[in-house]
Amino acid sequence: MWRIGIDVGGTFTDLVAVDARGRTTIAKAPSTPADPSLGVLDGLDRLAAALGVNRAAMLGATQRIVHGTTVATNALLTRGGARVGLLATAGHRDVLEMREGLKDDRYDLRLARPAPLVPRERRLGVRERIGPEGQILTRLDRRSLDAAIARLARERVDAVAICFLHSWRNPAHERAAARAVRRAMPAAFLSVSSDVLPRIKEYERTSTTAVNAYVGPLVARYLDRLAARLEGAGYRGPVLIIHSSGGVAPIAETIRRPAATALSGPAGGVAAAQRVAAIAAAPDLIAFDMGGTSTDISLLLGGERPLTNARGLAGERIALPSLDIVSIGAGGGSVARAEAGGLLRVGPQSAGAEPGPACYGRGGRAPTVTDANLVLGRLDAAGFLGGAMRLDDEAARRAIGPLARALGLGIAAAAAGIVRVVDTNMAEAVRLMAARRGVDVRRFALLAFGGAAGLHATAVARQLGIARVVVPRVASVLSAWGMLSTDLEIEVTRSHVGETAALDSATLRRLFAALEREARARMASWHRGRIVLRRAADMRYGEQVYEIDVPLDGVAWNAADLPRRIAACFARRHEALFTYSLADRTPVMVNASVRAIGRLEATPREPRRRAHAPAKPRAHRRMLLDRPRRVPVYDLEALAPGQRLRGPALVEAATTSVLLMSGDLARTTAEGWLDIAVDLRA
């Protein structure tokens, strides 16, 4: 029996199959942005071939498939989502336009106001009003509601978002409006704020509900199509989708709240980082995922994945639980250009999967990071993707040529400049994230994964003063591998605002008990195994305008001084995140939440490799590093457990390459991973 993880990226679709003994088989296929399911099926064919069986036999013996999708991400980034209408409380239809009254960069006087996902003509007010305590101040006006629905029907919207004032406290009017929309517009996707995000903060709730409606039809169509194609190919097991929080859920639950997949793919990388942190004994870890289009960065403290409710994407606020991941436009396909004054920039524009870098031979003409690495000798033109794809060195040189002339450099020097700039961009992104978290990156290890990370990881580590880099054997598809290490998850949340000193212990116990009942019941509807519950609260100091997630595991819930104990949890969490807390300030609890975790059978650890004689270089290659060098090239799969390699050296696998700079020392672990000690003196 196999378990299969599938991660659809901007350039490649990555697949991993793990059997009952932990043996891992990988495959890559070009992504197909117009219909990602076609790339998935192509990848399944390649994975089956690598396993030595046909696709039907492989799928028939597959226990579960876990999938990360970029459909919601791409819809937001390209503004290619559904045609949405919004029903709001009369007088409050412009919340999306006003946002929170601030620009993303308040000091940029020329910054254009972002266009809302729903234009004003499709944002309609409905006469109704519920007070902050849930009392009905103005009953729902049926004529006003019917007129608004008729207007949206004439506008031929694909989806309807409903967000009334204080519905988090009393959802009666939203539910009545939802029933009316379903009767009048049965084909429309429906997104109701009291289902999507039943919490205070009007803009966050409205924005999240609108995003959910905007991506909903596309995500639903894609997942329905994928499920049908997998069933037609012979698969009968569950298809689980990884959410932005790092947990997985069935397709039906995902379609109910598709905005939760906005960071679906990168979430697999963080799940993998958690597993690696335990295996490599590196609890403080920077996950550094460099793919074809972007680089995703996250920090694990003590082996714990970082969660936040304050994430955004493409300028839109999505206040659902999400891993704290920073994405920048730096990947193998990032395009280099010369700007006024001879300034070299790399990214965020990308050649993507189509046409891809110039060296792919698919019509791309812009110089990219991959082209630069090929020109510098870091990639094997004949052995790319295990020989399945040949790279065109001359096409790479032709692409870099105009850039080199604009910069007054030779082609090799321009290629080296491209690599230095993209390395610096990635190092700066790590610095900014670490500064925001108040941590010193020098005490972290760097986990390098994604198809392009191995060629850049040690250079990035040098810039940051990081002395250890870990590269798993399946680094190029680690996000897909990490998806197989996740559990089913669902979170239930309610707002309950008050200073901890004024909260009542009995009320808090009743609140969390009710949330636990709801979370357990929802999880039990699609999971028959063990269920674990985790309590948490969103809290802040009174003067702050943002909250932090505070785990409440281990709190003595029967204690008479329960509010004081919750306040102590907040102080410890604030200290861990920002290196300080304020003993003289009383914290405020804003939201209570319970996460139900449906435990899945753990993916076995990769078997230890048998000891054998150290492998010798399979070749030597001319390469431009600090100067032209003749560098030994090793086969990653052939390295013996415990074998040590001194840089400069290049370690190649079918789908990734790892560059050791002068002075670096790599040790091969029992699993066949590279554990690299970076020479920071260089």
pLDDT at 354: 74
Q: Which residue in this structure is represented by tokens 């109701």?
A: 192
pLDDT at 127: 97
pLDDT at 178: 97
Question: Could you tell me the two tokens for 487?
Answer: 């559990």
| Domain boundaries, given as residue ranges, for the chain | 81-215, 334-422, 488-598
| CB-based contact 241:262 (threshold 8 Å) | no
**pLDDT tens figures, 144-171:** 999 999 999 999 999 999 999 999 999 9
User: Residue 197: what residue type?
Assistant: L
| pTM for this prediction | 0.86
pLDDT at 578: 80
Top mean pLDDT of 113-122, 187-196, 484-493 is at: 187-196
Choose between 114 and 535: higher pLDDT.
Answer: 535
DSSP assigned state of 474: T
Question: Residue range 438-462: average pLDDT?
Answer: 92
Q: Is the per-residue pLDDT at 450 higher than 90?
A: no
pLDDT at 611: 77
Average pLDDT along the chain? 90
Top mean pLDDT of 29-33, 186-190, 244-248, 363-367 is at: 186-190
Choose between 253 and 77: higher pLDDT.
Answer: 253
Question: Residue range 433-442: average pLDDT?
Answer: 86
Choose between 440 and 610: higher pLDDT.
Answer: 440
Residue 113 pLDDT grade (very low, low, confident, very high; cuts 50, 70, 90): confident
pLDDT at 492: 92
Helix axes 202-232, 36-51, angle to 10 degrees: 50
Q: Is the per-residue pLDDT at 634 higher than 70?
A: yes
Positive or negative, the Cα torsion across 317, 318, 319, 323?
Answer: negative
pLDDT at 335: 92
**pLDDT tens figures, 643-668:** 999 989 999 987 789 999 999 999 99
Q: Of 63-77, 161-175, 596-610, 666-680, where does mean pLDDT reach its minimum? A: 596-610
Q: Where are the beta strands (DSSP E) in 183-318?
A: 189-192, 239-242, 248-250, 285-290, 295-300, 307-308, 311-313, 316-318
Distance CA 368, CA 366 (A): 6
Q: Is the per-residue pLDDT at 487 higher than 80?
A: yes
Among 478, 348, 328, 650, residue whose Cα is nearest residue 28: 478
pLDDT at 489: 93
Domain 488-598 CATH assignment equals 3.30.70: no
Max CA pair span of the chain: 82
pLDDT at 554: 86
Residue 78 pLDDT grade (very low, low, confident, very high; cuts 50, 70, 90): confident
pLDDT at 682: 67
pLDDT at 158: 96
| CB-based contact 208:503 (threshold 8 Å) | no
Residue 103 pLDDT grade (very low, low, confident, very high; cuts 50, 70, 90): low
Q: Is the per-residue pLDDT at 678 higher than 80?
A: yes
pLDDT at 292: 80
Distance CA 499, CA 294 (A): 41
**pLDDT tens figures, 542-576:** 888 888 889 998 899 999 999 999 999 999 999 88
Half-sphere exposure of 359 (CA within 13 A, CB side): 28
pLDDT at 149: 97
| CB-based contact 347:328 (threshold 8 Å) | yes
Question: Could you tell me the two tokens for 340?
Answer: 């006024």
Question: Residue range 184-193: average pLDDT?
Answer: 96
